[in-house]
Structure 1
Amino acid sequence: MTLSTTMNTANGILGNSSTQSQVVSKNISNSQTVGYVKRDAVTVVNATGGSTVKIIRAEDVVLQKQMLTGQSTAEGQATLNKGLDQLKALLGGNDYDLAPSTYISKLQTALQSYAAQPSETTLAQTAVSTAQDLANSITATSQGIAKIRVQADTDIKGGVDSLNDLLSQFMTVNEAVIKAKAAGEDPNDALDRRDKLVSDISKLVGVSKTERPNGDMALYTNEGTVLFDKIPRSITFDPRGSYGAGIAGNSVYIDGVPLKAGVGGNTSAQGSLAANLQIRDTIAPQFEQQLDETSRSLISMFSEKEKATGNNPMPGLFTWQNGTTPPAGALQPGISATFAVNPAYVKEQGGDPVRLRDGGVNGALYKWNTDNTASYSTLLNGYVAAFDTKVGFDATVGLESSATVGKYAASSVGWLEAYRSTADSANETKAALSQRATEAYQNKTGVSLDEELSKMLDIEQSYKASAKLISTVDEMLKSLLGIA
């Protein structure tokens, strides 16, 4: 090997060491940067025997796919659990102090006390007051359900806006990747930004990707709907300002295809959008229907009937906006929203609580205690007995079709708790799987400071060796020139 060849080799090694040092330094400085994928500076020998450095980005398509799926399912489950927790909060939390079933039990106790001492007007007032607490519980829960649906609708709107914005950013970065590769420039920073955007998108909707040879990438939902292909696809949603019984929410359309809502406590939702659709359109409305059935049965249970015939029921202690006794066994949508105690029993509204004992709110034909006997308890005993009598319920709302009103209200709480139990268990599992998938991906593509510092020491040794070689060649050249 000639001295000139030796010098060229040493200079080449110095240049490679410089490039490698820059890559390692960049890795170290971005060790805490979210979404940064480490680079490796690999020495490649060309056809002439010379060496160059090629910068390789530490990608892993399989692990990335697992991470994206884990993020989508975990985000969908977490969103569902948040909605279920909000529904539980309407009932007073773990002890269900504010649940209708709690106040139904209290009303039964109050009526038992009044039936045992029908001459005590203070017990009549206590019973009516307890009935008002029950009515307030039902209407407050109904209003709370409507607010939760509105909040889910608002969250869907926010998610759609975010998704549109992310896809717009994705187009810009995707074009940067294509241009960098076409020009032979380094596309790695743009690739990092693009992968970070895909990760953010996966938290809104399940996403899969396809990369083309020129670096272009297309995105699809896990159901196969196009999210991005050359340009972002249209994602539209029309929110509502309010919700009531029977009002359906609008769909989220991705490229003209409606996004499916999640299903079940261990939800099938991938991303927050599908989970919010499930809360708004499935869980909250079904809970509302169960509340409607509880309200309907209470109105019927305390309705007044003609003394002579026992027929022609009319609202008694409880009433609603319609002012009639609804038919038995058939869902009356929205009845819980206007469920209330009949003012004719409320002393503060000019009513008389003793009418619970005597009847007659709907006229003389409906008065049972015609002699105004203070010890009369026939109606009161009938109301007390009704608490232990099974009645028919609409089976389409997901609970039993025959039960006592107290048992039915408690079953509604049980239905919600069963949903939450399944969801909580699934949330723990999915969160753990997402964490493990993310850690596996980061371990493969993230920066290890120990590894990078070790590389830096190797580069330093290579630099020293090259510098020593150049110094030696320089001394030899000086000696040669001195001889000449």
Structure 2
Amino acid sequence: MSLSAAMKTAQSNFSNVGLQSAVASKNIANASDTAYARRSAILATAATGASVVETQRAQNEALLKQNLLSISKSAGQDTLLSGLTRMKTMLGGEDYELAPSTYLAKLRDNLQTFADKPNEVSLAETVVADAIDVANSLNTTSQALQKLRAEADSDIATSVTELNRLLKEFKTYNDQVKQGTAAGTDVNDALDQRDKLLTQISSIVGVSTMKRTNNDLALYTSDGTVLFETTARTVTFAPTPTYTAAVTGNQVYIDGVAIQAGAGGNTSAQGSIAALLQIRDHAAPTFQKQLDEIARGVITMFSEGTDEGLFISNGLPALTDPGLSTVIRVNPDVISNEGGNPMLLRDGINTNYNVDNNASFSELLNGYASAFEAPMTFHPDAAIDTSATILAFGTSSVGWVEQLRSAATTAGDDKSALLGRTQEALLNVTAVSLDEELALLLDLEQSYKASAKLVAAVDEMIAALLQAAG
């Protein structure tokens, strides 16, 4: 090797060490950033030795796509579980002490006691108080459900706004990647930002990717709707500020195509929007229908012929109209502090059945007690038994909520575990290891020292040649 060739080799090595050290230093500086993918300085053989030809970014397309899918599924499942947990909370704790079925059972027991001792005013007062508890339970649970639907609607609006923002930002970095790739410049930072945006988008709506010329990405939802293709597609939604049982929320549209709500406890929802739609349009309305059917059942059970009795619909046109559980109340004619007489429950509220004013008259009370054991017909939209006693139907309603929540909990654990494993696998490929980077810096230090010794040796040789020629 000539002295000039040795000097060029040393200079090339100095340049390589400088570039490699810069890459390693950048890796170390971003080690805590989960959106940062590790960089590697790639060497290639040249006339003067090896030289850095590019800075390569660690990536694995298959793992990235699986990670996006796992994020979408886990986000959808967590969102649904949160809503179902709220629904369970409406019914009280683990014993469901605030559930309508709990108060109905208490009403039945005390009603039977009153029927056995129909001359006891205190027992009449107790039964009326139990009836008020049943009506209040139905009212508060129904109101809480509509509040849950309104909050889900508000969360959908927030998610849509955020999704539009993310898609707009995605276009910025996607354009940088396309232009940089075409020009041959370093686009690794833009790729990091683009992948970070993809993970955020996937938590809102299920997304799949298609890579095109110059690293351009097209995005599609899980059902194939175009989300981004050169430009972002518009996501639209009109919020509904107030919810009642009769109100239907508006759809979310991506480029004019409606997003489908999730289904089931192990929800099919990918992303938070589909899960929020499932809560707002399916889970909560189904539970609302169950509450309305319970309200219709108790009004019918305690009616006096064609007239409403202990329970009244409070002006709702028909017992089959949605929202009956929100307005049901106890007839004020039997409430003492509203000027009523609780003993009318024994004798008849609209018609006096106890014409002889008999203190032991219990015909009506026994009929009411028997009604608790008689099967009734319920609407199939309630998604539980269509023929059952009122207590069995109420218990089935609690069971429906718990079964759905339990399935969502199990699925949530499974999807969270899968997400954790997928992210770990991806990080094993793309994350920065401080130990590896520090070891690389030590190797680069040794390489620098070797080059420095080569330069020193060449310098000594040249000095010796000049002295000999002198």
Please give the range of the TM-score, normalised by the shorter of the 2 chains: over 0.9
1:321 correspondence with 2:314: yes
Question: For 1:95, what is the secondary structure of its paired residue?
Answer: coil
CA distance in 1, matches of 2:112, 2:83: 38
* 1:383 maps to which of 363, 368, 387: 368
The residue number in structure 1 matching 2:137 is 137
Measured against aligned partners, the alpha-carbon deviations of 1:42-71 in whole angstroms (never above 9, x if no partner) come to 211247865334211001000101111111
- The amino acid that maps onto 1:34 is T
The residue number in structure 2 matching 1:459 is 444
Do the aligned partners of 2:146 and 2:244 also contact (CA within 8 Å) in 1? Answer: yes
The residue number in structure 2 matching 1:310 is none
Question: For 1:118, what is the secondary structure of its paired residue?
Answer: coil
Question: For 2:52, what is the secondary structure of its paired residue?
Answer: strand
CA distance in 2, matches of 1:431, 1:34: 18
The residue number in structure 1 matching 2:26 is 26
CA distance in 1, matches of 2:90, 2:433: 48
Question: For 2:445, what is the secondary structure of its paired residue?
Answer: helix
Measured against aligned partners, the alpha-carbon deviations of 1:310-340 in whole angstroms (never above 9, x if no partner) come to xxx21000011336784xxxx4322111010
1:430 correspondence with 2:423: no
Report how far residue 185 of structure 1 moved.
Answer: 2.2
The residue number in structure 2 matching 1:90 is 90
The residue number in structure 2 matching 1:309 is none
The residue number in structure 2 matching 1:348 is 337
CA distance in 2, matches of 1:408, 1:421: 19
Question: For 1:92, what is the secondary structure of its paired residue?
Answer: coil
Question: For 1:224, what is the secondary structure of its paired residue?
Answer: coil
Report how far residue 213 of structure 1 moved.
Answer: 2.6
Do the aligned partners of 1:293 and 1:332 also contact (CA within 8 Å) in 2? Answer: no
CA distance in 1, matches of 2:317, 2:371: 20
The residue number in structure 2 matching 1:107 is 107
CA distance in 1, matches of 2:78, 2:317: 42
Please identify runs of 4+ aligned residues in structure 1 that moved more than 6 A: none
CA distance in 2, matches of 1:199, 1:388: 55
The residue number in structure 1 matching 2:205 is 205
CA distance in 2, matches of 1:250, 1:325: 26
Change (3 A) 1:9 1:138: same
Report how far residue 93 of structure 1 moved.
Answer: 2.4
Report how far residue 123 of structure 1 moved.
Answer: 0.8
The residue number in structure 2 matching 1:420 is 405
Do the aligned partners of 2:72 and 2:270 also contact (CA within 8 Å) in 1? Answer: yes
CA distance in 2, matches of 1:290, 1:368: 33
* 1:409 maps to which of 385, 389, 394: 394
Measured against aligned partners, the alpha-carbon deviations of 1:323-360 in whole angstroms (never above 9, x if no partner) come to 6784xxxx43221110100111111111110001000x
The residue number in structure 1 matching 2:175 is 175
Report how far residue 386 of structure 1 moved.
Answer: 1.1
Equivalent residue runs for 1:150-165 within 5 Å: 150-165=150-165
Measured against aligned partners, the alpha-carbon deviations of 1:426-456 in whole angstroms (never above 9, x if no partner) come to 0000000001001100111110111111111
Report how far residue 171 of structure 1 moved.
Answer: 1.0
The residue number in structure 2 matching 1:66 is 66
Q: Alignment RMSD, CA only?
A: 1.3
- The amino acid that maps onto 2:342 is P
Measured against aligned partners, the alpha-carbon deviations of 1:135-161 in whole angstroms (never above 9, x if no partner) come to 000000110110010011011001000
CA distance in 1, matches of 2:419, 2:337: 58
Equivalent residue runs for 1:235-314 within 5 Å: 235-305=235-305, 313-314=306-307
Query: How much identity, in percent, do the aligned residues show?
Result: 50
Report how far residue 461 of structure 1 moved.
Answer: 1.1
CA distance in 1, matches of 2:224, 2:82: 28
- The amino acid that maps onto 2:307 is M
Question: For 2:40, what is the secondary structure of its paired residue?
Answer: strand
- The amino acid that maps onto 1:317 is L
- The amino acid that maps onto 1:178 is K
The residue number in structure 1 matching 2:222 is 222
Do the aligned partners of 2:9 and 2:48 also contact (CA within 8 Å) in 1? Answer: no
The residue number in structure 1 matching 2:384 is 399
Question: For 1:242, what is the secondary structure of its paired residue?
Answer: coil
- The amino acid that maps onto 2:146 is A
